[in-house]
């Protein structure tokens, strides 16, 4: 068999394989959370999310909003050196993010087995 015939068979198999993979994965809500940062943020987003009194007080101020919290829980960076500390029956996570006004914020979230509680929102003057 000549090279161009083998190459044609290879391309046909590749196209058919891509079609089947696309057909299987298109209807599902699949996520590839292999890295620790993505796994922690996904876990926090999928649990019931509650706000502590201090966090509610910060949200009533004008510089931060619940949209900023959701964006930080989606695109933020978890500081694992300061996180994963056992506290009050859960684990404390420190997450860095930005507001819609491009201000740096830090979220302190306690991750319980059945819920996640936003403990505090800190405004950072310096970049993270």
Residues 2, 60, single domain; the answer is no
- Enclosing domain of residue 82: 31-124
Locate all alpha helices (DSSP H) within the chain, ordered by sequence.
3-26, 36-46, 53-59, 66-75
Nearest to 93 by CA among 81, 103, 105, 84: 84
Residue 14: the pLDDT is: 96
62 shares a domain with 16: no
Residues 73 and 115 in one domain: yes
pTM, rounded to two decimals: 0.75
Instruction: Check: CB of residue 123 under 8 Å from CB of residue 63.
Output: yes
Which two tokens mark 64?
């931060």
Residues 12 and 59 placed together within one structural domain of the fold: no
For residue range 55-96, what is the model confidence (pLDDT) as tens digits? 999 999 888 999 999 999 999 999 999 988 888 889 999 999
pLDDT at 30 over 90: no
Number of structural domains in the chain: 2
Residue for token pair 């019931």: 48
């Amino acid at each position: 068999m000549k090279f161009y015939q083998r190459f044609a068979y290879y391309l046909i198999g590749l196209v058919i394989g891509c079609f089947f993979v696309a057909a299987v994965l298109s209807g599902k809500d699949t996520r590839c959370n292999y890295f620790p940062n993505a796994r922690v943020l996904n876990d926090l987003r999928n649990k019931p999310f509650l706000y502590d009194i201090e966090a509610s007080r910060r949200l009533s101020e004008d510089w931060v909003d619940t949209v900023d919290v959701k964006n930080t829980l989606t695109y933020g960076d978890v500081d694992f050196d300061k996180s994963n500390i056992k506290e009050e029956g859960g684990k404390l996570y420190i997450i860095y993010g930005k507001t819609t006004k491009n201000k740096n914020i830090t979220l302190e979230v306690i991750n319980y087995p059945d819920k996640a509680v936003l403990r505090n929102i800190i405004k950072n003057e310096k970049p993270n």
